[in-house]
């Protein structure tokens, strides 16, 4: 297989991977991330208070904390994976490392977000604080994680744009012949 065909095959495989990860309302990501999020949150809380887990609800001495599907932030994980998989010129091994690093960073930030929101639950400002975390801070988490990952792995190409530019140049060179 020549270099051009290999690059096109890789491009198709990357975008196919993005589609597979998004199928069934993020089924694959939810299946992996939900129990990890619930059990990690319970583990951290158990360092400070007695906990008991029943389904998706962590019972503590003072509160019942339900880890709802939105708390898992699956769409944020999907977005970071879209950014990584839609970026060209990354070797497969580096792409895997970047994806795992970005997901680990995002996971740690999400657990921190959940833990910060727990004390706010008892205040009349919970809805406002939750809205800020949900809409603003979560976006900052994803963007910050993306920039940190690109810097760490020295990623220079731009998601989607670099692929479009490559395909456009490919069609231009075909038209010249």
CA torsion sign for 111, 70, 133, 65 is: negative
pLDDT at 135: 84
Average pLDDT over residues 37-47: 97
Strand segments (E) across 62-166: 64-66
Q: Are strands 57-59 and 52-54 parallel, antiparallel or unpaired?
A: antiparallel
Q: What is the tens place of the pLDDT at every residue in 30-40?
A: 999 999 999 99
Model confidence at 175: pLDDT above 70: no
The reported pTM is 0.90
Q: What is the tens place of the pLDDT at every residue in 123-164?
A: 898 888 888 888 888 899 999 999 999 999 999 999 999 999
**Contact (CB, 8 A) for 114 and 67:** yes
% of residues, the chain, pLDDT over 90: 79
Q: What is the tens place of the pLDDT at every residue in 74-127?
A: 999 999 999 999 999 999 999 999 999 999 999 999 999 999 999 888 889 888
Among 53, 49, 71, 43, residue whose Cα is nearest residue 62: 49
SS3 content of the chain, % helix, strand, coil (to 5): 75, 5, 20
Distances (CA, A) of 18 to 55, 83, 130: 30, 10, 29
Structure tokens of 33?
């991330």
Range ranked top by mean pLDDT from 3-7, 50-54, 68-72, 169-173 = 50-54
């Amino acid at each position: 297989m020549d270099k051009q065909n290999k690059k096109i095959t890789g491009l198709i495989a990357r975008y196919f991977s993005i589609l597979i990860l998004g199928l069934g309302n993020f089924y694959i990501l939810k299946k992996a991330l939900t129990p990890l999020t619930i059990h990690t949150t319970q583990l951290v809380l158990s360092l400070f208070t007695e906990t008991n887990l029943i389904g998706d609800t962590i019972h503590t001495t003072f509160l019942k904390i339900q880890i709802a599907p939105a708390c898992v932030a699956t769409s944020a994980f999907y977005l970071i994976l879209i950014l990584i998989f839609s970026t060209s010129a990354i070797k497969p091994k580096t792409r895997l490392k970047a994806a795992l690093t970005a997901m680990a960073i995002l996971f740690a930030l999400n657990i921190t977000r959940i833990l910060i929101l727990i004390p706010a639950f008892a205040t009349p400002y919970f809805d406002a604080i939750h809205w800020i975390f949900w809409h603003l801070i979560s976006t900052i988490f994803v963007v910050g994680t993306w920039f940190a990952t690109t810097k760490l792995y020295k990623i220079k190409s731009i998601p989607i744009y670099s692929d479009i530019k490559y395909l456009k140049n490919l069609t231009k060179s075909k038209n010249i012949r």
